[in-house]
Amino acid sequence: MTTRPRGCGSSAELFIAMTGTLPAGTDKPVDTLIGMKRAKGPARGWLPNQHGAWAMLVLPWLFGLAHTVGAGRFRIEQGVLFAFWLVGYFAFFAAGLWLKSRFKPRYVPALATYGAGAAALGLVLLVLTPSWWPWVFVFAPICSFALWLSWRRHERDVVSGLATIVATCLIPVVMGGWSQVPVAVALVCFGYFFGTVAYVKTVIRERGKPGWVAFSVAWHAACAVAVAWVPEPLPRWWLVAFFVAVAVRALLVPLLGPMRGRKVDVKLVGIWEIVTSAVLVAVMLPALLG
């Protein structure tokens, strides 16, 4: 029977995915932490168990899609891109488990299936949109670096999370080009997701450490200032208000919780992260769609 560490419900997966860390007080493998013995899919690499990764997968693509639709430049390839991105993530997840396990054969079927699917979709994309070929030389090193960290069993390091966040936040630029709006959307996404990494660390793995709290608050405050200069049609003042709100959260939750010796309910913080992502969608989508 697998014993689940105290305080780690299913929403702990959100934080493992977004922060690359485990909750403080446990050095159990991620597999054990989320009870993978109960589900053959995750245990064999078929079903990603990093639920928090879905926001990072979907939001940048969704914002990129909204911008192209609003600008009247939607193309069918952008839908194929999402399918490739999704299957590619499944392949990446299986590859990470395979490398971390030192090539255990139980992960090979999932890796081979998703890898073949991603390769096929990728070739279709490059045939349909030859202008995307240069992006291969951007994403390949990023993904290779992240997988190398998995092989070294350092996938929980901040730099690993940073690499995957950079990759996913580039999607709006892939879809819309290097013009002002797609770049600004990518930066907004990066500011939010990396800020989430810092914030979640202050209430879980690095809880009670003033340096992390200061960094988290400073990051969100800097984002609040930076988004005041985003180009139209992005809702700059709504974005300022959004980042001010998450900056206040980044201060108050650790200050009133871990800094006073109180444990923060992992499930509650997970729910609020979902709500926060939904608020960002509500702020961004109407403006991008025009």
Please say whether the dihedral angle defined by the alpha carbons of residues 212, 151, 163 and 286, taken in this order, is positive or negative.
negative
Cα angle 165, 168, 39 (rounded to 5 degrees) comes to 85
6 within domain boundaries:
no
Residue 6 has pLDDT above 50, yes or no: no
Residue 253 has pLDDT above 70, yes or no: yes
The reported pTM is 0.83
CB-facing half-sphere around the CA of 129: CA atoms within 13 A: 19
Residue 54 has pLDDT above 80, yes or no: yes
69 within domain boundaries:
yes
5 within domain boundaries:
no
Least confident span in 12-16, 41-45, 216-220, 279-283:
12-16
**Over pLDDT 70: what percentage of the chain?**
84
Least confident span in 50-54, 64-68, 194-198:
50-54
Residue 79 has pLDDT above 80, yes or no: yes
1 within domain boundaries:
no
Residue 58 has pLDDT above 90, yes or no: yes
244 within domain boundaries:
yes
107 within domain boundaries:
yes
Please say whether the dihedral angle defined by the alpha carbons of residues 18, 21, 25 and 26, taken in this order, is positive or negative.
positive
182 within domain boundaries:
yes
Task: Write out the residue range of the structural domain in which residue 81 sits.
Answer: 12-289
Mean pLDDT on 250-261: 93
Least confident span in 130-134, 217-221, 268-272, 286-290:
268-272
pLDDT at 53: 80
Task: Count up the domains in the chain and report the number.
Answer: 1
182-233 pLDDT tens trace = 999 999 999 999 999 999 999 988 888 999 999 999 999 999 999 999 999 9
256-269 pLDDT tens trace = 998 888 888 888 88
Burial 40-58 (b: 16+ CB within 10 A, else e): eebbbbbebbbbbbbbbbb
148 within domain boundaries:
yes
pLDDT at 81: 97
